[in-house]
Structure 1
Amino acid sequence: MYKKKAAIAILLFFAIVNIQAQVTFKPGLRGGLSLSTISEMHADYRPDFYFGGFGEINLTKKYALQPEITYVKQGSNNVARNYYDPVSETNKVAYQDLRLDYLSLSMINKFTFGQGFQVLFGPSLDVRLTDNLVRRKNYNDFAFNLGLGYRMPSGLAFDVRFKKGFLDILDSDYYTNDSNNHYLFGDYNTNINFQIGVSYSFDTK
Structure 2
Amino acid sequence: MKTVKLLIMLVVFCSTGMTMAQTRPGIKVGLNSSNISNTALDTKSGIYIGAFADISLTDYYSLQPEILYSNQGGKSNSDAYGDVNINYISIGIPNKFYVSPDKGFHFILGLGLDINFDNNFVNLTNFNVDDEISPLDVVVFGGIGYEFDFGLILEARYKQGTISVDFFGEDDYYEEAGSNLNGVFQIGAAYKFKL
Query: Shorter-normalised TM-score: what interval?
Result: 0.7 to 0.9
Query: More strand per residue: 1 or 2?
Result: 1
Residues 35-62 of structure 1, C-alpha deviations (whole Å, 9 max, x = no match): 1000001121101111000000101111
TM-score by length of 2: 0.81
- The percent identity for this pair of structures is 33
- 1:17 is displaced (CA, Å) by 11
Q: Which residue, out of 99, 121, 134, partners 1:113?
A: 99
TM-score by length of 1: 0.77
4+ long deviations beyond 4 Å: 15-22
Q: Which residue in 2 is equivalent to 1:70?
A: 68
Structure with the greater alpha carbon radius of gyration: 1
- CA spacing shift, 1:48–1:19, aligned 2, 3 Å: same
Give the whole-Å Cα distance in 2 for the aligned partners of 1:98 and 1:49: 15
Matched, 1:132 2:120: yes
For residues 146-157 of structure 1, the aligned pairs below 5 Å read 146-157=142-153
Q: Which residue in 1 is equivalent to 2:33?
A: 35
Give the whole-Å Cα distance in 1 for the aligned partners of 2:59 and 2:165: 39
Residues 129-188 of structure 1, C-alpha deviations (whole Å, 9 max, x = no match): 110114333111100010100000001010000000000112432x62xxxxx5232121
Q: Which residue, out of 139, 142, 162, partners 2:138?
A: 142
Q: Which residue in 1 is equivalent to 2:188?
A: 197
**Do 1:36 and 1:194's aligned partners in 2 also have CA atoms closer than 8 Å?**
yes
CA RMSD of aligned residues (A): 2.2
- CA spacing shift, 1:98–1:79, aligned 2, 3 Å: farther
Give the unaligned 5+ runs of structure 2.
1-12, 123-128
- CA spacing shift, 1:170–1:18, aligned 2, 3 Å: closer
**Do 2:115 and 2:135's aligned partners in 1 also have CA atoms closer than 8 Å?**
yes
Give the whole-Å Cα distance in 2 for the aligned partners of 1:17 and 1:42: 50
Give the unaligned 5+ runs of structure 1.
1-14, 81-92, 177-181
Q: Which residue in 2 is equivalent to 1:184?
A: 174
